[in-house]
Structure 1
Amino acid sequence: MLKLIVLADDLTGALDTGIQFAKSSDGTLVALDCDVCWDDVSAEKEVLVIDTESRHIAPQEAYQRVKHLSEKAKNAGIPFIYKKTDSALRGHVGSELAAVLDATGEKQLHFIPAFPRTKRVTVHGIQYIDGIPVADSVFGSDPFNPVRHSSVMDVLAEETNLRTHSISCEEDSSEAEGILIYDAENDEDIQKRAGELKKKDRLHVMAGCAGFAAVLPELLDLHRGNAKNHIEHKPMLVVCGSVNPITVTQLDDAENKGFRRDRISPETLLRKEHFTSEEGKTNVKDWADWLNKGNDLILDTNTLPGCETAYDFADQDGIRREDVPVLISRSMGQLVKDLIDLGVDATMLITGGDTLMGFMKAENIRLMQPCRELVAGTVLSMVSIHGKTYNIISKSGGFGVPTLISDLKELLQ
């Protein structure tokens, strides 16, 4: 029976947090649709993670989606709600945390935004990425969701008037109403704070990323399960929809170590008819043949420095800039589906939540089963397509060391 609902604003985040519960319980599913019927969820499932796909929509619409699902959880008698937030504070953090509080009628929401294993920590209320205040990091120049503030309170204040309180590691949790933001510089800080909240029975309405989620299975008495660790040796198909410089560095490293890397032009991505043309079909068949011979392949949406970007092409072709991410994810999702239809059986690493969701929509997949965290923030999941099981590796664009892709290749051999 469901004990915990997790609400995430994108798919990679849903998976990297969902896997924290799947480590301890076989009863964890990730739903790709806000309208998923909870009655269809098996009685053995204890955790349901829902991707609200709300990062790129208007703040008020994000608020309404999260509020609706939080009310549904409360009315269903589910005792715990966890609002998953981005560890770089992208998205509508203030609106969505306010939605949870408004829906549940609780006086406090306890928020631990740190993810120390990926070098994302909170010190004196400031969010740091690898020692750099988040607004000064690569996330400050994110083309889709630039983070303008490093203070967590300031980020929340952009979209909510609720009272916020920043609490250091040395302080006990407060009785004050509103959103309580806790510092954490390491996993021990998170464990200590979560234990304190458990003793005070304050874990019913929470927020954070995978860092906070990792300590909850034991505290919420979730059942122990058996980890699914088997990975068949297959060629790797890397599908990159992320423009994050961290991911670009990982692609460069993999290319230098032997991966074939083909860049897909903005015109190809933004004109949906390309892959149905003769030229497009020839491209897809060439990629399928390459993979079916056991070779590794990177399909990259990033252009070379100095070349026309997707936004440049959109401006010239009369396409709205806000539509660019949707069009790219749709094109890449359909491309991967076309490859599978041609018999490709590869382990797929898909970077960027929008790109992964584009593929899931193309295949009409509504549920995913996270199986294993390969490294922090990088998750192996299983999906069923036409009765066959495929391995999908997902990661946020901003996660991982420069050698991540080549490291995964070695791990999978």
Structure 2
Amino acid sequence: MFQKSLSRTQMRWLMFLSRWQELDWQLLFVTISLTFLGGVMIRSAEMNEGLTDWWWHWIIGGIGLTLCLLIARSRYEILLQWHWMVYGVTNIALFAVMIMGTTANGAQRWLNILGFHVQPSEFAKIGLIITLAAIIHWQPASTLNAVFRVLAIAAVPWLFVFLEPNLGTSLVFGAITMGMLYWGNANPGWLILFVSPIVSAIMFNVFLPGWFVWVGAMMLIGWRTLPWSFFGGIGALVANVISGGLGNLLWGLLQDYQKDRLLLFLDPDKDPLGGGYHLIQSRIAIGAGQLTGRGLHQGTQTQLHFIPEQHTDFIFSAIGEELGFIGCLLVLFTFWLLCLRLVIIAQNAKDNFGSLLAIGVLSMIVFQTVINIGMNIGLAPITGIPLPLLSYGRSALLANFLAIGLVESVANHRHRLKF
């Protein structure tokens, strides 16, 4: 009797665990590792301040992990039936921020829900990924009409986020859209042409000789990739010339603090005690770490709080100072491994919808990682983009776990290989 009862218990456990049989455990392990390291570095950055953000980072990470596993056992294909509902809820939440959102640092980005400040724009990234994956699944982006349809749908939440104002997250939306369009068979030349007016507007006001070369290149791409070659080339030329002239108008739409971030990125020493302070101190901290770092809780820039809000957007500077060049390389390798698993899952997905979900998450993580680390070392302007899984931010961390959960669902429900 005891042996039979034990066998039944074992069978129940096997049936329970079989729901995660095809889970990508490497992806899950990397995600948990980065989250744990994030809590350690947040604690170090907050030493002597009596804050408990590092605990919250791990608590939200635990909640996110639970939701991730629940999503992984659910079939992601169900979202194909609900993607317009997801899109509607996403835009309603973003619109609610504009009406009743709370304001901090000159931006209105949060909703106060039961005493917690929730940032809908972080979850809107997931909503956009689901929506675009469903749309491109039904109609691949191999024609201009399909591409324009995707851009029009992505433009609505993008505009809400841009008007908060939240330039950094709006750029993430653009990266997600471009990455998913590329994976959805859009012509790469078209994608270059879509972003070319922005580049043209910047180059016209910064480096005029380079602007002429850029416009010529865009005309050539338009001629080679667009229908009606001659008119396509002329249209690309006109669009870039006009956007170059409208550069000053676009510049006027930015908030003062956004202009400072872009200008001081080029030369932070112009305002070393103001807008350039973060960049200068971050570079000092990373350089001070040298090869092996000063040691956990031993970094002078970190422990003396020379970098305000270091536990959020500038967490990489704390890693650089206290864990050194080797620590930074290990973090970069971990992100590379995470992205590699996302690509493998996208390639092995059983349908286009699942593959596009993985690529959307990949685009989001790659762009945020590159820009955040770039701004920490002085190679990119400060845009308020957090480092995924490492920076403190409850909404951002929870959204990242939800995104990983979607990808794990794709992996968990792919066709089993038969030998």
| TM-score normalised per structure 2 | 0.29
State the TM-score, normalized to the length of structure 1. 0.30
Bigger share in helix: 2
Report which of the two has the higher share of strand: 1
* Structure ranking higher on relative contact order (CA contacts 8 Å, 6+ apart): 2
Higher Rg of the two aligned structures: 2
